[in-house]
């Protein structure tokens, strides 16, 4: 029988330290709200009531979780190699553009068994394409990927604007810039309400990334390079090839986030359809320490806060970006390693081991 206790200790430490960070962030966020004359308790009541205490709100958490799973993986996978991919937002947009172009080219009358795989493939291609230039520049050692992916986010948004206001615009929509509806052959089926099959795809992607990272030679080598690139290279690991590989894979994953949004939620391509899912995915990945399973948990948490943020606008008249303050505060605590969970974990595991030793 395997001993479950070390796993429980790890889980306990992580929960405890994350919980402490959230509490401190809540206190600080309350102060911010109070300085503007808002009652923090009303705000929190509205945040919780509109998400956990409300059937529709609760399902909206999962609707937002779907793109976040993809965009967080798009950050986490390169991060395990030591790269900072901040281009999720751009990759998401170009992925959606790729899927939209495919859908509009093939027309609305394709069977669903063609529409879904084609949109998935083109979404991934679009996202990967947007990561290609930063990946290549980084692999050649010419330009840091953080800067290039950031700059390309702004270009990607304009690119989508250009197509939606120009060549892909629905001539029938007088004042609204948008494409025509893709048609029934392209719409990703729903599971419950607005929750769609993207959730299954996202969970599958999570599992695949987890298995690749933890159980394959690729994953081992990625983690080895992430640990000490110079040593790994001396052992003959192809650093440049891995840089291109993880960034393209990340771009493809982010592309799926955008594809799901337009194929399952919007049904057509509109400008600025993503409420910064790319940047939120960055938050999720860093909060989760780039570990796939934790991405699921932290993704749910960030999706909850973001869903609550949307309703803050309606209920309290606060801009939805207000919750960015709260999320940034939690991220600061995690980045600062405030409660030193690694050290705590080590100490508790050692105590566990000592007791074992005494008993034997």
Partner 1 sequence: MSTGFVEGWLAGTIQASAPIFYAALGETVVERSGLINLGVEGTMLVGASSSFAVTSLTGSPVAGLATGALAGALFNLILAPLVLWRRANQLACGLALMFLGAGLSAFYGQSFVGAPVNGFDVVPIPFLETIPFAGPILFQQDALVYFMAPSAVLVWWLLARTRWGLQLRAVGEDRLVAFAAGTRPHLLRVQALLLGGLFAGVAGAHLSLAIAHSWTEGLTAGRGFIAVSLVIFAAWSPLRVLPGALLFGGALALQIQLQARGAAVSPFLLDMLPYLMTLVVLVLLRKSSRGRMPEGLKEVFESPKGS
Q: Which parts of this chain interact with partner 1 (CB under 8 A)? A: 32, 36, 81-84, 86, 133, 137, 141-144, 146-148, 150-155, 158-159, 161-162, 165-166, 225-226, 229-230, 233, 239-240, 243, 279, 282-283, 286, 318-319, 321-329, 331-332, 335-338
Reduced to 3 states (helix: H, G, I; strand: E, B; else coil), residue 236 is coil
Reported for 342-349, long-range contacts at CB under 8 A and 24+ positions apart, including other chains, are 344/13, 344/17, 345/9, 345/10, 345/13, 348/9, 348/12, 348/13, 349/6, 349/9, 349/10
Contacts of residue 136, defined as CB under 8 A and 6 or more positions apart, other chains included, come to 244
Tokens 């990334």 correspond to 209
- Distances in Å between the alpha carbon of 143 and those of 94, 133, 134? 21, 10, 8
Select 28 or 297, whichever has its Cβ closest to partner 1.
28
CB of 332 to partner 1, least distance (A): 6
Instruction: Give least dist CB 55 to partner 1, A.
Output: 28
Of residues 237 and 352, the one with the C-beta less far from partner 1: 237
Q: Which is nearer to partner 1, 118 or 285 (CB)?
A: 285
Tokens coding 308: 């609550």
Structure tokens at 306: 């973001």
Nearer to partner 1, 5 or 223 (CB): 223
Specify the residue, 32 or 208, whose C-beta has the smaller distance to partner 1: 32
Separation of alpha carbons 58 and 51, rounded Å: 5
Judge whether 119 and 197 are in contact, CB under 8 Å.
no
Residue 311 CB, nearest distance to partner 1 (Å)? 16
Cβ 234 to partner 1, closest distance in Å? 9
DSSP conformation class of 188: P
Least Å from the CB of residue 159 to partner 1: 7
Closest CB to partner 1 among 125 and 329?
Answer: 329
Q: Which is nearer to partner 1, 58 or 279 (CB)?
A: 279
Q: Which is nearer to partner 1, 37 or 172 (CB)?
A: 37
Residue 321: how many other CB atoms lie within 10 Å: 12
Least distance (Å) between residue 13 CB and partner 1:
18
Q: What are phi and psi of 289, to 5 degrees?
A: 60, 25
**CA dist., res. 245 & res. 242, Å (int):** 5
Q: Smallest gap, in angstroms, from Cβ of residue 360 to partner 1?
A: 39
Write b or e for each residue in 291-312: b if 16 or more Cβ atoms lie within 10 A of its Cβ, otherwise e: bbebbbbbbbbbbbbbbbbbbb
Q: Kindly tell me which of 7 and 319 has the beta carbon lying closer to partner 1.
A: 319
Minimum distance from CB of 173 to partner 1 (Å)?
18
Shortest Å, Cβ 36 to partner 1: 6
With residues binned 3-state (H G I as helix, E B as strand, rest as coil), the percentages for the chain, rounded to 5, are 75, 0, 25
- DSSP H helices, 107-228, are 112-139, 145-165, 198-215, 217-227
């Amino acid at each position: 029988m395997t001993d479950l206790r070390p796993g429980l200790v790890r889980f306990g430490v992580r929960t405890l330290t994350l919980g402490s960070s959230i509490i401190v962030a809540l206190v600080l966020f309350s102060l911010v709200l109070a300085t503007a004359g808002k009652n923090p308790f009303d705000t929190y009541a509205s945040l919780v009531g509109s998400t956990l205490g409300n059937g529709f709100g609760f399902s909206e958490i999962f609707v937002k979780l779907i793109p976040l799973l993809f965009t967080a993986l798009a950050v986490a996978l390169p991060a395990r190699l030591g790269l900072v991919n901040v281009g999720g937002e751009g990759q998401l947009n170009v992925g959606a553009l790729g899927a939209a172009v495919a859908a509009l080219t093939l027309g609305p009358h394709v069977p669903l068994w063609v529409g879904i795989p084609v949109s998935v493939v083109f979404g991934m291609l679009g996202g990967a394409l947007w990561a290609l230039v930063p990946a290549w520049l980084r692999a050649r050692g010419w330009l840091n990927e953080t800067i290039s992916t950031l700059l390309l986010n702004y270009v990607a948004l304009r690119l989508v604007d250009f197509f939606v206001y120009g060549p892909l615009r629905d001539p029938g929509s007088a004042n609204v810039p948008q494409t025509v509806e893709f048609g029934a052959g392209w719409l990703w089926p729903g599971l419950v309400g607005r929750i769609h099959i993207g959730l299954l795809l996202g969970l599958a992607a999570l599992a695949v990334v987890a298995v690749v990272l933890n159980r394959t030679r690729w994953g081992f080598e990625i983690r080895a390079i992430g640990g000490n690139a110079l040593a790994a290279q001396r052992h003959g690991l192809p650093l440049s090839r891995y840089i291109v590989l993880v960034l393209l894979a990340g771009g493809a994953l982010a592309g799926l986030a955008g594809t799901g949004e337009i194929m399952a939620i919007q049904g057509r391509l509109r400008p600025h359809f993503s409420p910064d899912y790319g940047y939120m995915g960055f938050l999720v990945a860093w909060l989760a320490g780039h570990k796939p399973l934790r991405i699921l948990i932290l993704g749910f948490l960030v999706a909850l806060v973001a869903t609550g943020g949307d309703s803050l606008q309606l209920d309290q008249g606060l801009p939805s970006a207000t919750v960015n303050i709260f999320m940034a505060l939690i991220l600061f605590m995690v980045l600062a390693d405030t409660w030193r969970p690694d050290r705590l974990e080590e100490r508790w595991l050692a105590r566990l081991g000592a007791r074992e030793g005494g008993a034997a």
